[in-house]
């Protein structure tokens, strides 16, 4: 049994890798359909493995596995390994990642069928699946960083997949660099862990973290200022999470990443990669629990993201951008949950969000195919008539997103709101306000989009309308398969995941003051649902739908009027709070100018101009002076010799007697 | 004389003999002749790895110092100068790197060099032998001889096959490096005189056990610094490198970046650290400062470059800054430990210093592959378009997809992506150096952002986008020869990125010996 499971663990990430290598290196020879079959087979095997693992770890309640695959490097006292930690947290992540990935693979057959880079695309998404699996299966920080950067690489390649498009290659460079800023903090956090804990293996670090010695350690970054080492580490790691999970102010890359093909927006920029930061913090719960300060920072950043990014969703007209801002806002919710020590609620929301957000993205993609790759919602309308399956699945996705009772998002979001309400750490009341207001905003932008696309007047041109038709089964089948968990997974999973013992061995909430989830009153799913329907979030969501209906369908003229009345706010939102303009000018432009300045004045003028060429010139000058001394008159030389002799003698005498005596 | 004893001598002589053969052959025949000799040298260098004794220790043994594959023959007996060669875990990987890169360089010049072909091939082969000599010499005079001899073929390579400003570049290169080495010669002669009465020699291993005062050590330290800092090159004596690279032919740039720069780092390990440990301890702050400036300041300058070769040259300086940072943060880590002795300190100082030194060596080897690959990539483009200006390109991926894949891979390796060898050394140094000072790690880690920024911005402008102009449109993808060159480097870069243990395992004993020696010397210093 053990050997059998061990090979299953190994097969899980390797199957997609093999698929990626075959499609990538031999895609030209084996052709298009063989390329998609080989990668789908790889990811399919991976999904089956994930199910077997889930069955083994969760249903059979086998103990968590922590094993080394191979030693990456040893340097006396430091072991760096590639290894797997498979517990219930990993098991649930494996299911989410492989399932969504499999759906996206199938969907891609339809979405990319006319693209010349077909094989390359399948290679990338299979490679991504491998990287993401390595990330979630890691049992040490080194491998975590490996997976972390590798998913970043594939994200870079996929955002810039259409490499002729200037906006795409701008967006992918931006995404990579912004992520690198996060990674900069992340690697310093890893270094600090090694410094204070002496190891990079999760189990050793968590064991050391429980000791008093470790908790009392401080680090002095500025002379005289001592910070708690644990807070310092947690915040550095969180900077990494801010990059990957797109939290303000490192969120700027995610909306631009929509330049990539839609299947990867669903897979990478909604369901899986962007949740890596959330997963990481949940995985590090034994560390974060030790620092209320770090938790406060996490919560406030999350709250800012949840609220401010939701606002931006309201003014977007590009269908994918609306979903992108919605993703940012939902990631903010998850981060707030982390701050409230409701790690399991964050993972729970991560899971439900992965299903319904992938569904919404793929639904948007389905509309985009039908619209001949037009993405502007102002040119859509009443598409429900032409695309019934897309319509219904999008409705399910939207209801799940806004947290309509009974749908999966309802359970995860309500749990987060409740936990935030019960949290007592600094910043919790602000976060509570943000997540509450966010409910209204979410409903508003989601249904604004929904109504603009599927209801109302048909605003597209005649040519497009004549060609509108439901997408083929490779597109609709994944939609239906994703719609099912978007509805039911919340009700099924809430009890074991949040209020049962599911995460007991992977998530530790040690501080009783932090234990917000255990304070939530929970009797049964039905009771929770009914209770939720009498709470403010439900009314806020309903109000959001009603406002969306009113402003987009009933009185669209009012929306335009409001826009001109609130011109300042509207300009601010359209310009995305000027984050991009600021970064472009100050950071990008500033670095380039600084580089040019240092080059021109530091290297060229000072070092080369003054020192190098200067000394060459002074040698020239010196020799011209010396040349003049060579007069040819003997007595000149004689005087020079005598003077030199006297000088040398004086120096020797001075040295021998003057100093010692 | 057994095979083990003679192998290093064969490795030094074989390429030089090959160079002579190439000169004797016709221009056309010189290519295969050179290739055969380069491959034979590489094949013969592999026994150094397979036959390497991982546990052999003894370089610092005062009574009977010994290296591996050692050979010691009397040479100039009047001054007790010997022909003494041998390797340890630090020099052995560098020798294999040299013999590997030399094959690629011969291949890279295969079609392109039509002017004085045989001389070109000969220059590179002779260069290879000399460089192997530098890495294996254990006698200071022998070392110095190889060290200076190296300049001649390089001087010719840039001067004869170089670009339009080659005269300025060669003179700058020559003066810089020559000026530095003169100080080293003085230091070596001084050390000779410090050896015990009647036992004067130029044995480097003998120098390790001299009892020098701090003042003496400081003078020697700076004399060595002058030589090695120029070679590395460290800020602020780096300005010869971009000029030399820009003017050098592709092969010259590759040798320069991949191997010659490493000789500076190697010099610190072979001479400065063990011979002048006290001075290294006292002056480590200066070297660390210079290294950090190299990483950050040069990173910004690289961002502003318009010429691809210059950009990669500046990137090399920044990456080599990591090497010197790793080597000298050893002393900063000791210093930190002194000041924080009571703190609960889970990390063993000796282990951490070994980590950063090994990180420095890994960085040298890895940079050898990556910089070589990047210069070869630029060479591929230059051969077709005769321009290195970034603005002359754009959308190369459309016409050269296979090449673009390689270029992006090497760019990622240059940006330190995990899974490539570029990550390993930087990672080891960052996680080690934080032990000395958080800000050192902070500035070093900034390369994560800067390195990615300048490399990938170049990639964006050269490789991606719409086809920039008709010249780009007419480009044809790489052929079999170029494919083999780039693929072999790609495999190596990935192999060492995924399994660096194969590389570090050979270093452990040697680095341990070196660090134990340095630690005990510095401990004496601190007692006084």
Residue B208 to residue B185: CA distance in whole angstroms: 17
Retrieve residue B114's tokens.
Answer: 């039509």
Put simply, the answer to whether A145 touches B456 (Cβ < 8 Å) is no
pLDDT of residue A242: 94
Give pLDDT, residue B46: 93
Lowest mean pLDDT among A108-112, A169-173, A217-221, A404-408: A217-221
Half-sphere exposure of residue A171: CA atoms within 13 angstroms, side-chain side: 24
- Which long-range CB contacts under 8 A does A492-500 form with residues at least 24 apart? A493/A348, A493/A351, A493/A411, A494/A348, A494/A411, A494/A412, A494/A415, A494/A525, A494/A528, A495/A522, A495/A524, A495/A525, A497/A92, A497/A344, A497/A347, A497/A348, A498/A344, A498/A345, A498/A348, A498/A415, A498/A522
Interface predicted TM-score (ipTM) over 0.85: yes
- Name every chain B residue with its beta carbon within 8 A of the beta carbon of A73: 424, 500-501, 504
As a whole number of Å, the CA-based R_g of chain A is 31
Using CB atoms, pick whichever of B302, B354, B448 lies closest to residue A183: B448
Contact B449 A181 (CB under 8 A): yes
pLDDT category at B223 given cuts 50, 70, 90 is very high
**A70 touches B: beta carbon within 8 Å:** yes
> Per residue in B161-195, pLDDT tens?
888 888 888 888 888 888 888 889 989 988 988 88
The single-letter DSSP state of residue B415 is T
Q: Which of residues 529-568 of A touch B (CB under 8 A)?
A: none
- Calculate the average pLDDT of chain B: 90
**Phi, psi of B263, rounded to the nearest 5 degrees:** -65, -30
What mean pLDDT do residues B205-212 have?
Answer: 88
A659 pLDDT above the threshold of 50: no
User: How far apart are the CA of A113 and the nearest CA of chain B, in angstroms?
Assistant: 20
Nearest by CB to residue B419, choosing from A146, A156, A176, is A146
**What value does the mean pLDDT take over residues A360-365?**
92
Of A196, A594, A607, the CB nearest to B300: A594
Q: What is the pLDDT of residues A205-258, one digit of tens each?
A: 998 888 888 888 888 778 778 888 899 999 999 999 999 999 988 999 999 999
Q: Residue window 145-164, chain B: list those with CB within 8 Å of chain A.
A: none
Q: Which of residues 339-358 of B touch A (CB under 8 A)?
A: 343-344, 346-348, 350-351, 354-355, 358
- pLDDT above 70 for A626: no
Q: According to the model, what pLDDT value does residue B369 have?
A: 95
Q: List, for residues B310-326, the tens digit of each pLDDT value.
A: 999 999 999 999 999 99
State residue A661's pLDDT score.
40
Nearest CA in chain A to B297: A598
Backbone torsions φ then ψ of A71, nearest 5 degrees: -85, 115
Nearest CA in chain B to A143: B418
Report the half-sphere exposure of A368 (CA within 13 A, side-chain side). 21
**Which of A180, A213, A603 faces B239 most closely, judged by CB atoms?**
A603
Size of chain B in residues:
528
pLDDT of residue B473: 87
Q: How far A229 CA lies from chain B's nearest CA (Å)?
A: 12
For A382-402, the pLDDT digits (tens) are: 888 889 999 999 999 999 999
Say whether A188 and B460 touch across the interface (CB within 8 A): no
H helices then E strands: how many in chain A? Answer: 28, 4
Please state, as a whole number, how many other Cβ atoms lie within 10 Å of the Cβ of residue B4.
14
Q: Which pLDDT does position B469 carry in this prediction?
A: 86
Candidates A25, A131, A599, A619: best to mutate against B (most CBs of B within 10 A) is A599
Euclidean distance between the first and final Cα of chain A, in Å? 89
CB < 8 Å to B445, chain A: 184, 187-188, 191
Mutate: best of B453, B473, B490, B494, partner A, most A CBs <10 A: B453
How many whole angstroms separate alpha carbon A507 and alpha carbon A24?
Answer: 38
pLDDT at A491 over 80: yes
pLDDT at A617 over 90: no
Q: Nearest C-alpha of chain B: how many angstroms from A94?
A: 22
CA distance B100 to chain A (A): 23
Q: Which of B350, B438, B453 sits opposite A221 (nearest CB)?
A: B438
First to last CA, chain B: 46
Are B464 and A194 a contacting pair at CB < 8 A?
no
Tell me if A184 and B446 make a contact (CB, 8 A cut-off): yes
Chain B contact for A611 (CB, 8 A cutoff)? yes
Q: Residue A211: what pLDDT? A: 86
How many inter-chain contacts (A to B, CB under 8 Å) are there?
A: 154
Taking CA atoms, A429 is separated from A299, A301, A417, A426, A538, in Å, by 10, 13, 11, 8, 19
Contact across the interface for A188 and B441, Cβ inside 8 Å: yes
Task: Please state, in angstroms and rounded to a whole number, the distance separating the CA atoms of residues B281 and B221.
Answer: 11
pLDDT at A564: 81
Give pTM, 2 decimals: 0.91
The 10s digit of each residue's pLDDT in A315-324 is 888 999 999 9
Q: Distance from A149 to chain B by nearest Cα, in Å?
A: 7
pLDDT of residue B224: 93
> Is residue B418 less than 8 Å (CB to CB) from chain A?
yes
Q: Are B119 and B390 in contact (CB under 8 A)?
A: no
Q: Do A75 and B457 count as a contact with CB atoms less than 8 A apart? A: no
**Mean pLDDT, residues B448-467:** 92
Please, is A28 exposed, middle or buried when counting C-beta atoms within 10 Å of its C-beta (0-12, 13-18, 19+)? exposed
What are the tens digits of pLDDT across the range A520-566? 888 888 888 888 888 888 899 899 999 888 888 888 888 788 888 88
Contacts of A191 in chain B (CB under 8 A): 430-431, 434, 441, 445
Q: Who among A72, A592, A607 is closest to B501 (CB)?
A: A72
pLDDT bin (cut points 50, 70, 90) of residue A652 is low
Asked if the Cβ–Cβ distance from B398 to A221 is below 8 Å, we say no
Q: Tell me if A607 and B412 make a contact (CB, 8 A cut-off).
A: no
Across B178-214, b (16+ Cβ under 10 Å) vs e yields eebbebbbebbeebbeebeeeeebbbbbbbbbeebee
Tell me the C-alpha distance between A502 and A630, whole Å.
Answer: 95
- Say whether residue A163 is in contact with chain B using an 8 A CB cutoff: yes
A188 touches chain B (CB under 8 A): yes
pLDDT, mean over chain A: 88
In tens, the pLDDT along A327-340 reads 999 999 999 999 99
Scan residues 589-608 of A and list those with Cβ closer than 8 Å to B.
591-592, 594-596, 598-599, 602-603, 607-608
Cis ω on the peptide bond leading into residue B39 (within 30° of 0)?
no
Model confidence over A44-99: pLDDT tens digits?
999 999 999 999 988 888 888 888 888 888 887 788 889 999 998 999 999 999 99
Rounded CA-CA distance A346/A335 in Å is 7
Q: Which pLDDT does position A660 carry in this prediction?
A: 44
From CA A30, how far away is CA A37, in angstroms rounded? Answer: 10
Nearest to B268 by CA among B323, B217, B215, B214: B323
Q: What is the pLDDT of residues A445-455, one digit of tens each?
A: 999 999 999 98
Of B135, B131, B241, which Cα lies nearest the Cα of B180?
B241
Q: Report d(CA B92, CA B98) in Å as an integer.
A: 10
List, as ranges, residues 72-101 from A with C-beta within 8 Å of B: 72-78
State the residue for tokens 């975590």.
Answer: A144
With CB atoms and an 8 Å threshold, state whether B508 touches A75: yes
């Amino acid at each position: 049994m053990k050997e059998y499971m061990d090979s299953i663990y190994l097969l899980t990430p390797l199957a997609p890798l093999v698929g990626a290598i075959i499609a990538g290196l031999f895609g030209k020879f084996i052709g298009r359909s063989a390329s998609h079959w080989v990668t789908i087979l790889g990811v399919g095997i991976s999904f089956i493995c994930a199910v077997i693992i889930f069955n083994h770890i969760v249903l059979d309640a086998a103990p968590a596995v922590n094993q080394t695959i191979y030693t990456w490097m040893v340097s006396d006292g430091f072991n760096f390994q590639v290894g797997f930690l498979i517990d219930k947290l990993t098991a649930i992540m494996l299911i989410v990642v492989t399932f969504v990935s499999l759906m996206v693979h199938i969907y891609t057959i339809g979405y990319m069928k006319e693209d010349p880079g077909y094989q390359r695309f399948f290679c990338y998404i299979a490679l991504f699946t491998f990287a993401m699996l390595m990330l979630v299966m890691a049992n040490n920080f080194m491998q975590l960083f490996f997976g972390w950067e590798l998913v970043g690489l594939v994200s870079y390649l996929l955002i810039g997949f259409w490499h002729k498009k200037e906006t795409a290659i701008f967006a992918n460079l931006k995404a990579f660099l912004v992520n690198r800023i996060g990674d900069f903090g992340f690697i310093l956090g890893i270094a600090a862990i090694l410094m204070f804990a002496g190891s990079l293996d999760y189990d050793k670090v968590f064991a050391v973290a429980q000791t008093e010695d470790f908790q009392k350690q401080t680090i002095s970054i500025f002379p005289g200022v001592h910070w708690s080492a644990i807070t310092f580490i947690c915040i550095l790691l969180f900077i990494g999470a801010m990059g990957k999970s797109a939290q303000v102010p490192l969120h700027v890359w995610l909306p631009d990443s929509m330049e990539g093909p839609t299947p990867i927006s669903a897979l990478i920029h909604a369901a899986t990669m962007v949740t890596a930061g959330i997963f990481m913090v949940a995985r590090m719960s034994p560390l974060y629990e030790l620092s209320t300060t770090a938790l406060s920072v996490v919560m406030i950043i999350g709250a800012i993201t949840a609220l401010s990014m939701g606002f931006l969703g309201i003014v977007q007209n590009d269908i994918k951008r609306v979903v992108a801002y919605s993703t940012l806002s939902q990631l903010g919710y998850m981060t707030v949950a982390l701050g409230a020590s409701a790690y399991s609620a964050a993972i729970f929301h991560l899971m439900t969000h992965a299903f319904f957000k992938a569904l919404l993205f793929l639904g948007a993609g389905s509309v985009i195919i039908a619209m001949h790759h037009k993405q502007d919602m102002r040119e859509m309308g009443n598409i429900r008539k032409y695309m019934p399956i897309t319509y219904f699945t999008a409705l399910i996705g939207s209801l799940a997103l806004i947290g309509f009772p009974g749908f999966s998002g309802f359970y995860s979001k309500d749990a987060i709101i409740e936990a935030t309400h019960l949290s007592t750490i600094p910043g919790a009341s602000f976060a509570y306000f943000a997540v509450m207001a966010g409910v209204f905003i979410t409903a508003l932008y989601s249904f604004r989009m929904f109504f603009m696309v599927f209801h109302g007047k048909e605003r597209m041109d005649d040519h497009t309308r004549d060609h509108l038709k439901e997408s083929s089964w490779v597109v609709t089948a994944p939609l239906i398969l994703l719609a099912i968990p978007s509805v039911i997974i919340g009700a099924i999973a809430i009890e074991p995941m949040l209020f049962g013992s599911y995460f007991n061995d992977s998530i530790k909430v040690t501080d009783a003051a932090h234990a917000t989830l255990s304070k939530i009153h929970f009797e049964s799913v039905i009771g929770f649902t009914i209770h939720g329907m009498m709470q403010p979030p439900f009314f806020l969501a309903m109000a959001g739908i009603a406002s969306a209906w009113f402003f987009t369908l009933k009185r669209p003229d009012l929306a335009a009027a409001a826009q001109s009345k609130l011109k300042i706010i509207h300009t601010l939102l359209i310009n995305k709070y000027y984050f991009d303009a600021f970064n472009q000018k100050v950071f990008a432009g500033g670095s380039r100018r600084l580089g040019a300045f240092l080059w021109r004045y530091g290297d060229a003028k000072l070092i080369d101009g003054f020192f190098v060429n200067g000394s060459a010139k002074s040698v020239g000058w010196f020799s011209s002076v010396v040349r003049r001394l060579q007069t040819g008159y003997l007595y000149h030389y004689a005087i020079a010799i005598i003077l030199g002799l006297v000088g040398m003698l004086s120096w020797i005498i001075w040295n021998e007697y003057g100093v010692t005596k | 004389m057994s095979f083990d004893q003679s192998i290093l001598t064969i490795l030094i002589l074989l390429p030089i003999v090959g160079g002579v053969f190439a000169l004797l052959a016709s221009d056309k025949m010189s290519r295969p002749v050179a290739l055969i000799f380069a491959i034979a040298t590489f094949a013969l260098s592999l026994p150094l790895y397979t036959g390497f004794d991982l546990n052999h220790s003894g370089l610092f043994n005062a009574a009977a110092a010994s290296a591996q594959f050692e050979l010691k023959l009397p040479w100039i007996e009047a001054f007790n100068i010997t022909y003494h060669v041998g390797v340890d875990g630090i020099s052995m990987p560098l020798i294999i790197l040299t013999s590997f890169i030399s094959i690629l360089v011969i291949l890279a010049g295969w079609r392109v060099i039509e002017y004085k072909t045989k001389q070109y091939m000969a220059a590179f082969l002779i260069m290879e032998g000399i460089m192997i000599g530098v890495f294996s010499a254990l006698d200071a005079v022998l070392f110095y001889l190889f060290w200076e001899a190296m300049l001649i073929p390089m001087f010719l390579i840039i001067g004869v096959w170089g670009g339009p400003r080659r005269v300025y570049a060669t003179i700058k290169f020559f003066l810089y490096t020559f000026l530095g080495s003169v100080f080293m010669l003085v230091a070596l002669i001084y050390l000779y005189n410090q050896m015990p009465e009647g036992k004067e020699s130029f044995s480097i291993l003998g120098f390790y056990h001299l009892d020098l005062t701090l003042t003496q050590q400081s003078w020697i330290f700076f004399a060595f610094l002058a030589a090695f800092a120029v070679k590395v090159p460290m800020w602020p004596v780096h300005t010869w490198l971009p000029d030399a690279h820009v003017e050098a032919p592709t092969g010259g740039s590759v040798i320069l970046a991949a191997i010659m720069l490493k000789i500076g780092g190697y010099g610190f390990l072979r001479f400065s650290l063990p011979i002048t440990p006290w001075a290294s301890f006292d002056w480590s702050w200066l070297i660390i400062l210079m290294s950090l400036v190299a990483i950050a300041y040069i990173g910004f300058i690289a961002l502003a470059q318009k010429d691809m070769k210059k950009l990669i040259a500046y990137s090399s300086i920044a990456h080599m800054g990591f090497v010197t940072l790793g080597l000298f943060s050893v002393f900063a880590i000791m210093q930190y430990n002194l000041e924080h002795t009571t703190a609960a300190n889970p990390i063993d100082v000796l282990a951490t210093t070994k980590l950063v030194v090994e990180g420095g060596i890994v960085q040298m080897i890895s940079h050898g592959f990556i910089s070589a690959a990047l210069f070869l990539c630029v060479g591929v483009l230059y051969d077709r378009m005769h321009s290195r200006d970034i603005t002359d390109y754009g959308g190369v991926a459309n016409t050269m997809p296979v090449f673009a894949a390689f270029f992006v891979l090497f760019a990622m390796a240059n940006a330190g992506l995990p899974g490539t060898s570029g990550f390993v050394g930087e990672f080891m140094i960052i996680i080690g150096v934080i032990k000395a000072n958080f800000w050192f790690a902070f500035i070093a880690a900034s390369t994560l952002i800067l390195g990615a920024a300048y490399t990938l911005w170049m990639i964006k402008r050269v490789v991606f986008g719409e086809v920039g102009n008709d010249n780009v449109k007419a480009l044809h993808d790489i052929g079999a020869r170029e494919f083999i060159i780039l693929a072999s480097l790609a495999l190596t870069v990935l192999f060492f990125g995924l399994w660096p243990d194969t590389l570090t395992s050979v270093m452990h004993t040697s680095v341990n010996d070196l660090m134990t020696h340095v630690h005990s010397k510095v401990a004496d210093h601190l007692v006084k």
